[in-house]
Amino acid sequence: MRELIIIGSGPAGYTAAIYAARANLRPLVIASSVEFGGELMKTTEVENFPGFPEGIMGPDLMTRMQQQAERFGAEILYDDVAALDLTGEVKRVTLGSGDVHEALAVIYATGSAYRKLGLPEESALSGYGVSWCATCDGAFFRKKTVAVIGGGDSALEEATFLTRFADTVYLVHRRDALRASAALQERAFADPKIQFIWNKEVARIYGDEKVTGIGLTDTVDGSETTLDLQGVFVAIGADPRTHLVHGQLDLIPEGTIAVDGRSSRTSRPGVFAAGDVVDPTYKQAATAAGSGVVAALDAEHYLASLPAELIARATGTDAVTDEIEARAREARESEARVAAPTA
């Protein structure tokens, strides 16, 4: 048994791991077998993460976070969580490999999953012209025509990135106004390779073995048109990945995990949540990182409040060590400082 398991390896999970490892909690991070590093692994240049004035490639940023967590003793497992039991004092995490890990506290930071259009052809043509990741698949569309679906930051970022390869990039949006930030809009409007198609929804994706075109329905007058193209990049947002905790943790109506006030405390003692799974609003890499800090500090305080004998069992020491005593004392003092009225 361990003190802390962190599920997820995006900015929230890795930042929680950095803080928890520095607090000597020796966290185990379950990073996922395929999607380790989270959504930023699929993005290009990140220009708004503090500390990188020239910008940094998403995968580089995540590799740095991972190295920083490992430097302080976080252990990272590249496997998926198959099942979770968060009910008792000891939480049980079952992995895809069948291995079971136990911990006194869990930080749940599994981020969000890309939304699908919901068309029957979408899954069949996934990998054959339909993609959710321009960074991964953009290079297959050199000198081709592609469409990006969506009107938010992701869609505009994908569209701009795809102009490196494709001759024409259609940006298909269901309204006539974008949701994306002004900076991304300005850049996309100035790009001669991007053509905006307003007020259109994708009704069909054509192609037997590979995408050959899309059918569009006008959201204002219902008229139908088609576009010949070879690639469709779906960028219509993402939903929090909460399926593993359904029935175990309370959710809010927006679908994210309910937490107590500004803390990361969920409806179960010893279970903390961070990043996109608790954030229906901001969903930025920097806010996710900040929420990882909150979760690590909350987990640290929770662990310090547990009986020292239990911690000794989790850390594999037979006796209550000086370190455990010191950590508990520190947490009590820090709680007292927070609770103390300011002058």
Active site residue 136: yes
Question: 85-98: string of b/e by CB count within 10 Å (b at 16+)?
Answer: ebeeeebbbebeee
Of residues 184 and 331, the one with the C-beta less far from ligand NAP: 184
Interface pick for ligand NAP out of 157, 200, 229, 273 (rule CB under 6 A): 157
Name the DSSP letter for residue 37: T
Interface pick for ligand NAP out of 110, 154, 264, 266 (rule CB under 6 A): 154
Q: What's the CA angle centered on 44, arms 193 and 61, to 5 degrees?
A: 165
Site for ligand NAP in 218-257 (CB under 6 A): 236-238
Residue matched to tokens 């930071």 = 109
Active site residue 85: no
Interaction between residue 35 and ligand NAP (CB under 6 A): no
Structure tokens at 206: 């054509």
Of residues 30 and 205, the one with the C-beta less far from ligand NAP: 205
Question: Which of 125, 310, 296 shows the shortest CA–CA distance to 209?
Answer: 125
Q: How far is the CB of 86 from ligand NAP (least distance, A)?
A: 27
C-alpha span between 316 and 323 (Å, rounded): 13
Interaction between residue 48 and ligand NAP (CB under 6 A): yes
Interaction between residue 215 and ligand NAP (CB under 6 A): no
Q: Give the CA diameter of the chain.
A: 74
Interface pick for ligand NAP out of 10, 38, 58, 150 (rule CB under 6 A): 150
Q: 60, 80, 99, 137: which one is catalytic?
A: 137
Active site residue 133: yes
Interface pick for ligand NAP out of 22, 64, 92, 179 (rule CB under 6 A): 179
Of residues 149 and 205, the one with the C-beta less far from ligand NAP: 149
Residues 6 or more apart whose Cβ sits within 8 Å of residue 208: none
- In this structure, the number of other CB atoms found within 10 A of the CB of residue 207 comes to 19
Residues 6 or more apart whose Cβ sits within 8 Å of residue 168: 145, 146, 193, 195, 229
Q: How far is the CB of 152 from ligand NAP (least distance, A)?
A: 2
Give the burial class of 133: count Cβ atoms within 10 A of its Cβ; 0-12 exposed, 13-18 middle, 19 or more buried.
Answer: middle
Of residues 180 and 324, the one with the C-beta less far from ligand NAP: 180
Q: 80, 133, 191, 239: which one is catalytic?
A: 133
Q: How far is the CB of 173 from ligand NAP (least distance, A)?
A: 6
Of residues 70 and 122, the one with the C-beta less far from ligand NAP: 122
Structure tokens at 250: 């309370």
Q: Which residues bind ligand NAP (CB under 6 A)?
A: 48, 115, 117, 149-155, 157, 174-175, 179, 201, 236-238, 283-284
